[in-house]
Amino acid sequence: MAFQLPELPYSFDALEPHIDARTMEIHHGKHHNGYTNKLNAAIAGTDLEGMKIEDILANVSKYSGGVRNNGGGFYNHSLFWSIMSPDGGGEPTERMNIHKAITRDFGSFENFKDEFSKAAATRFGSGWAWLCVDGNDKLSVCSTPNQDNPLMDVADCKGTPILGLDVWEHAYYLNYQNRRPDYINAFFNVVDWHAVTKRYNDANEGASNF
């Protein structure tokens, strides 16, 4: 069974004015679709067909550059769409487990937001910023280059990503041009904390989300 491009869970214009419809349409329909198709081409006829994407990424150093780039691109964008919502923004409420964990590991939501925003702003060139949880339930923030992510054995920072921000120029250039910090600020207006807390709760259950 080949990997499938997931449907966007909202319309292209649902995240406006924070992320514009044209960017969403190209990002999902061209970029994510391209990673998905190229991943399927890269694994066709190999033992990787039928494996969970998380298991492929965990041993990605054994496979081709095409599997690394396109497997990462497939996973990262699938996660990205799922943790945004037109009803998102603000801060996690105290009822959400992620609220307690962020306060415990960063001191406050503001501290977390500052650290995450800095990771996103300072990633040189193309890449992603992440909030991850490790096997000891500890949260951390980091960034990775290109389409790498913290599930990969080649990554400098390891963990299960529960929030990710695409800082490739294709994610923001039409609306924000070179103003990456404005895009990072806008992202926090659409983060779906219900989805993030669900990923946090599920992170160490071994469930495949894609």
Q: CA 79 → CA 35, 39, 119, 123, distances in Å?
A: 14, 16, 18, 19
Shortest Cβ 80–Mn ion spacing (Å): 7
Residue in this structure with the two tokens 């992440």, named with its chain if needed: 130
CB atoms within 10 A of CB 126: 14
Among 113, 127, 135, 117, which residue's Cα sits nearest to residue 155?
A: 127
Residue 199: CB partners within 8 Å, gap ≥ 6?
A: 79, 83, 160, 161, 162, 163, 209
Q: How many residues bind Mn ion (CB under 5 A)?
A: 4
Which residues pair with residue 144 across a beta bridge? 128
Given the complex with Mn ion, which of 78 and 117 has the nearer CB atom?
A: 78
* Structure-block tokens of residue 199: 């990923």
- Applying CB under 5 A, does 166 fall inside the site for Mn ion? yes
Given the complex with Mn ion, which of 31 and 158 has the nearer CB atom?
A: 31
Shortest Cβ 115–Mn ion spacing (Å): 22
Shortest Cβ 22–Mn ion spacing (Å): 14
The contact mask relative to Mn ion for 14-43 (x = CB under 5 A, - = no) is -----------------x------------
Given the complex with Mn ion, which of 73 and 159 has the nearer CB atom?
A: 73
The contact mask relative to Mn ion for 70-109 (x = CB under 5 A, - = no) is ----------------------------------------
- Applying CB under 5 A, does 148 fall inside the site for Mn ion? no
Residue in this structure with the two tokens 């699938």, named with its chain if needed: 78
Interface positions with Mn ion (CB under 5 A)? 31, 166, 168, 171
